[in-house]
Structure 1
Amino acid sequence: MSQVCDICGKGPQSGNSVSHSHIKTKRRFMPNLQKVRHQEPSGEVKTIKACTRCIRNGAVVKPAVKKA
């Protein structure tokens, strides 16, 4: 499963874990991705993986809930 945001393309970044004794080992910083239902401009509803920044900034348009 790829860890890439479907909106902005944000993916994992690499860096170092630094211990108390300052020994560095490689690690990955993963984006905070959420599965969310997104309404396309055509009206189609899809489930996408979006980072929390895209959700918070309004790049993800949530579909209207139909009441029974």
Structure 2
Amino acid sequence: MAQRCEICGKGPLYGHAVSHSKHAVNRRFMPNITKRTLVHDGRKQKINVCAGCLRTRNKQK
């Protein structure tokens, strides 16, 4: 599954995992993406949506 939200475009971010000894290792911070069937552009579609967009959509209803 593609790790990008089809509504807002949120995708993976890159940064460092920093341990207690301050040793920084590269890592990816992945967004919380799920595949949902939603009405998007007037028709039902299966789209990849982040949790933030789902919450915003539920608040607007």
* Larger helix proportion of the pair: 2
Query: Following the alignment from structure 1 to structure 2, what is the Cα–Cα distance between the partners of residues 36 and 23?
Result: 39
Output the TM-score relative to the length of structure 2. Answer: 0.85
Question: Cα RMSD over matched residues?
Answer: 1.4
Which residue in 2 is equivalent to 1:50?
49
Q: How does 1:33-48 map to 2 (within 5 A)?
A: 33-42=33-42, 44-48=43-47
> Structure 2 stretches of 5 or more lacking a match?
none
* Larger strand proportion of the pair: 2
Query: Deviating runs (4+, > 3 A) in structure 1?
Result: none
Query: Following the alignment from structure 1 to structure 2, what is the Cα–Cα distance between the partners of residues 41 and 26?
Result: 38
Output the TM-score relative to the length of structure 1. Answer: 0.77
- 1:33-55 CA distance string (max 9 Å, x none): 0111111343x211111000000
Whose radius of gyration is greater, 1 or 2?
Answer: 1
Letter in 2 for 1:56: R
Helix, strand or coil for the counterpart of 1:11? coil
Which residue in 2 is equivalent to 1:27?
27
Shift of 1:22: 0.7
